[in-house]
Amino acid sequence: MDDALHDLLKSVDTPTVCNAIEVAQGKRGFNAFTRGTMLESDPDGVMVGYARTARIRALAPPTEAPDVIKARRMAYYKYMSEGPRPAVCVVQDLDVPNAIGAYWGEVNTNIHKAFSLAGTLTDGVMRDLGDLAEGYPVVAGSVGPSHGFVHVVDFDAPVRIHGLDIRPGDLVHADRHGAVVVPKDLEAGLAEAIATLMRSEKIVFDAVKGKRISFEEFEAVWAAFEAART
């Protein structure tokens, strides 16, 4: 991803990306997005990058030897510190729907921000609201006070977050609405699709925002809007 596309994607919200993908595909039916309501640590936070993935548990203590768990934890951190940038940390909590362990708080957000990650997408728990690393958004499944027995199970493998399958290296866009995976074959044409989408929506906004129009006027506007998207 070049800098221009990255900056463009950072400037738009996730619904815009979803719509632009449909514009690029020329049809409705794109479904690589999260389901249900997610929570955002920063209402204005947007994360864009290639997925670095992992899975965790926290309900019960790990059954493996402590040295195994410690070695895996450090291997996880090494993995998160490496790879192409921009990157998004994507962590599935295997305890969902009973997740209780907040892996994402003041400590881990500052560590992952220092690794030059753009943010975290997780179906698990976050905490320390108000004290998370500045400029490091977390989109999570829930909020809770404790880390429980949280530990890393594995990393660098496919995960599922709120119904969205994400593989290592997938291009992820996420904000307070949830997350979407950009199809690899559309990445090169996404900027033009966003521009087309915005031009078409401007036709409607120019006609209706702060104004009153008749249905007959609206019919003409809507026809022009539909023509502009194709």
Tens of pLDDT along 34-62? 999 999 999 999 999 999 999 999 999 99
CB 104 within 8 A of CB 140: yes
121 and 171 share one domain: yes
- Strands (E) in 105-177, as ranges, are 120-122, 125-126, 138-140, 142-143, 151-155, 159-161, 164-166, 171-175
In a domain, 38, yes or no: yes
Domain-embedded: residue 24: no
Q: Do 210 and 134 belong together in one domain?
A: no
- 204 lies in some domain: yes
What is the pLDDT at residue 29? 87
Instruction: Provide the total of helices (H) and of strands (E) in the chain, helices listed first.
Output: 6, 13
pTM of the model: 0.93
Q: Is 148 left (phi over 0), alpha (psi -120 to 50) or beta?
A: left
Do 63 and 113 reside in the same domain of the chain?
Answer: yes
Same-domain pairing of 168 and 145 = yes
Contact between residue 194 and residue 20 where contact means Cβ atoms under 8 Å apart: yes
Q: Which of these, 46, 16, 33, 45, lies nearest to 181 by C-alpha position?
A: 33
Query: Please, where are the H alpha helices in the chain?
Result: 3-11, 14-25, 66-81, 106-114, 190-208, 215-229
Question: Residue 132 has what pLDDT?
Answer: 98
Residue 7 domain flag: no
Does 15 map to a domain? no
pLDDT value of position 37: 96
Q: Are residues 178 and 77 in the same domain?
A: yes
Query: Which residues constitute the domain of residue 108?
Result: 31-182
Q: Domain total for the chain?
A: 2
Whether residues 173 and 60 fall in one domain: yes
Is the domain of 79 the same as that of 162? Answer: yes
For the residues 197-215, what does the mean pLDDT come to?
Answer: 94
Q: Is 127 annotated as a binding residue?
A: yes
- 168 domain-assigned: yes
Residue 175 has which token pair? 């904000």
- Confidence at residue 1, expressed as pLDDT on a 0 to 100 scale: 86
Instruction: Report the CATH number that the domain containing residue 162 is assigned in CATH.
Output: 3.50.30.40
Residue that the structure tokens 């990306």 belong to: 17
68-118: per-residue pLDDT in tens?
A: 999 999 999 999 999 999 999 999 999 999 999 999 999 999 999 999 999
Shared-domain flag, residues 170 and 222 = no
Who's near 79: CB < 8 A, 6+ residues apart?
52, 54, 155, 156
73 is in an annotated binding site: no
- The pLDDT tens digits for 112-153 are 999 999 999 999 999 999 999 999 999 999 999 999 999 999
For residue 196, being part of any structural domain is answered with: yes
Average pLDDT along the chain = 96
